[in-house]
Amino acid sequence: MGFFDLPVSTKVGRVVPKNAFDDYTNTKQKKLFTDCILRITWTHKLSAETVNLDCNEIQEIQLFKVELKQKSDISKILEIINKSIPYHIVFWVEHDQMAFISAASKHSHPVNDDMSVIDWVFTSDWFNKDENSFFFSLRESLDAVFKDLCVQLAGRPSLGKRSMNDILKNQQEVARLKKEIKNLESAISKCKQFNEKVDLNLRLKIAENELMKIEGSA
């Protein structure tokens, strides 16, 4: 995965068998792995030993390259892999000339050491592999490296001034408001009562203003 221009010391280059996740999948999910995934490769490991950076909450960052049989939504597959591996993972997912990047902020499961709890998933749009603008800024600490990439994926550079916890809260609130706006727009389009439509439009305006305020407050 040379497109990230990482040090040779970080290279792993090991194929991960799809059945490595059998203990975390049911029959339907196993079929999803088989139908969608051509190959999974553990390409790089960022750690104190490989990049000479401090570690705070994040001890290692793993890079996985996922090659698809066809361009499809594999968010469920990435969720399974993320939950089954305790380290933070950055996925490079590709099909033909197109790719996207996904990284999940997560923490250890309180009672199950073999599982992780996902806080939020940062994902880019699909882009041409030859035009990758995402990068790893290898400075300060592994925590800073991961946060910087998440800010890039969120597409809002101003979030970089905030703590990771604040970024997660911001992203969750933005998602909640976007869902509320979508539901209100749907309700307005179906509404026949004038007074009810006026109330829905008012609630929509409040939600839209709140979203603008939150997205601009970073």
Lowest mean pLDDT among 55-59, 144-148, 177-181: 55-59
Please state the rounded mean pLDDT for residues 74-100: 94
**In this structure, are 80 and 10 located in the same domain?**
yes
Model confidence band, residue 1 (pLDDT cutoffs 50, 70, 90): very low
Strands (DSSP E) contained in the chain are 11-15, 37-47, 60-68, 88-95, 98-108, 116-123, 127-128
**In this structure, are 115 and 205 located in the same domain?**
no
* 163: in domain: no
Sign of CA dihedral 78, 80, 84, 88: positive
- Bridge partners for 117 per DSSP: 107
**Could you tell me the residue range of the domain that residue 182 belongs to?**
170-215
Domain tally for the chain?
2
**In this structure, are 10 and 71 located in the same domain?**
yes
Please state the rounded mean pLDDT for residues 100-126: 89
* 54: in domain: yes
pTM of the predicted protein model? 0.87
**In this structure, are 72 and 122 located in the same domain?**
yes
* 132: in domain: yes
Instruction: Encode pLDDT of 122-157 as tens digits.
Output: 999 999 999 999 999 999 999 999 999 999 999 888
Instruction: Encode pLDDT of 7-56 as tens digits.
Output: 999 999 999 999 999 999 999 999 999 999 999 999 999 999 999 999 88
- Max Cα–Cα distance, the chain, nearest Å: 66
Our CA dihedral for 159, 160, 163, 166, rounded to 10 degrees, sits at: 10
**In this structure, are 75 and 142 located in the same domain?**
yes
**In this structure, are 58 and 18 located in the same domain?**
yes
**In this structure, are 149 and 110 located in the same domain?**
yes
Q: Strand, helix or coil at 159? A: helix
Q: Cα–Cα distance between 124 and 57 in angstroms, integer?
A: 24
Sequential DSSP letters for 17-56: PGGGGGGG--HHHHHHHHHHEEEEEEEEEEEHHHH--B-S
* 98: in domain: yes
* 61: in domain: yes
In this predicted structure, the answer to whether residue 98 has a pLDDT above a threshold of 70 is yes
**In this structure, are 40 and 69 located in the same domain?**
yes
The mean pLDDT of the chain is 92
